[in-house]
Structure 1
Amino acid sequence: MERGSSKHSPRLDDQMSQEVDGLIQGPGTAGSRVDEFREPEPAGEDQPEARTAPGGPLRSGSPQGMTSGDVEERSRLGRFIGLSALPGDRDTLVRNARDNDAPDDIVTALEGLPPGIPYRTVSEVWAALGHKNETTRW
């Protein structure tokens, strides 16, 4: 039988494999060998139970000056403007968005930009469309 590793003996390879089984399988599986210190501690008597992170603005981590919806929409816009289109003017952006199969609402918005003005970043395009970008913290 051909072995992939020659650094250890077969017996040591088997032993090392068994040592990590508990880490791979996790604490909820039968026969788990996870050390007790690796299992999460339960909440204390006066502490609430652990839950998933809340949704909405508390979870989003949106930058100052923007809502989580603004961040999502600017990101959506950026998915359809390739880096090869920047810097670019309105016609370049519209052509690139169409090449990237952008939805009609994004193409229509880009067609509403003034002609002949070069945009260097998606944030500049976003601002030219009348939206707010994050404010700079000093």
Structure 2
Amino acid sequence: MSVGMERGSSKHSPRVDDQMSSEVSGLVQGPGTGGSRVDEFRVPEPAGEDQPEATTAPAGELRTGSPQGMSSTDVEARSRLGRFIAMAALPGDRDTLVANARENEAPADVVAALESLPEGTRYQTVSEVWAALGHKNETTRW
């Protein structure tokens, strides 16, 4: 075996091998070796030239992101209902929805509400169930 073969089956010259080795060790060792980009994701991108700077939205009904026609309370209550109705239960009738809500350990008030739905109607979405229970969904602009 010659001296040049001791490096294994590398196709690079010893000088290139050493350079590549130091590059890899910097990646493997992580922060503290200089040039690390690990924390870069924590810095927000600057706003574009014609864009406002990002700010924290104030609390309150004004900036909740509620769809038009619904309050944030409505949105939360509909989301709560949806947590106990699996997508597999839709489309489904009253009995299917009640059984599914019980399987998902829905609280008594949710089960009681579903039990009040008219018999024989199939619901395609949680929003349809919500409306059938007498609540408002988003108002759609045409």
TM-score (norm 1): 0.69
Secondary structure at 1:65's aligned position in 2? coil
Secondary structure at 1:20's aligned position in 2? coil
CA RMSD of aligned residues (A): 2.9
One-letter amino acid of the counterpart of residue 63, structure 2: R
Partner of 1:47: none
Secondary structure at 2:35's aligned position in 1? helix
Find the partner of 1:113 among 114, 117, 132. 117
One-letter amino acid of the counterpart of residue 102, structure 1: A
User: How many residue pairs are counted as aligned between the two chains?
Assistant: 113
**CA 1:127/1:52 → structure 2, altered by over 3 Å: closer, same or farther?**
same
Alignment of 1:1-138 (within 5 A): 9-15=20-26, 17=30, 18-20=34-36, 23=39, 52-138=56-142
One-letter amino acid of the counterpart of residue 76, structure 1: R
Query: Considering only CA atoms, is the larger Rg found in Structure 1 or Structure 2?
Result: 2
Aligned equivalents of 1:85, 1:21: Cα separation in 2: 46
Q: Deviations over 1:17-51 (max 9, x none)?
A: 4212573697xxxxxxxxxxx6999xxxxxxxx97
**CA 1:19/1:71 → structure 2, altered by over 3 Å: closer, same or farther?**
same
Q: Does the Cα contact within 8 Å between 1:56 and 1:68 map onto a contact in 2?
A: no
TM-score (norm 2): 0.68
Give 5+ residue unaligned stretches, structure 2: 1-16, 47-53
**CA 1:108/1:62 → structure 2, altered by over 3 Å: closer, same or farther?**
same
Q: Report percent identity of matched pairs.
A: 60
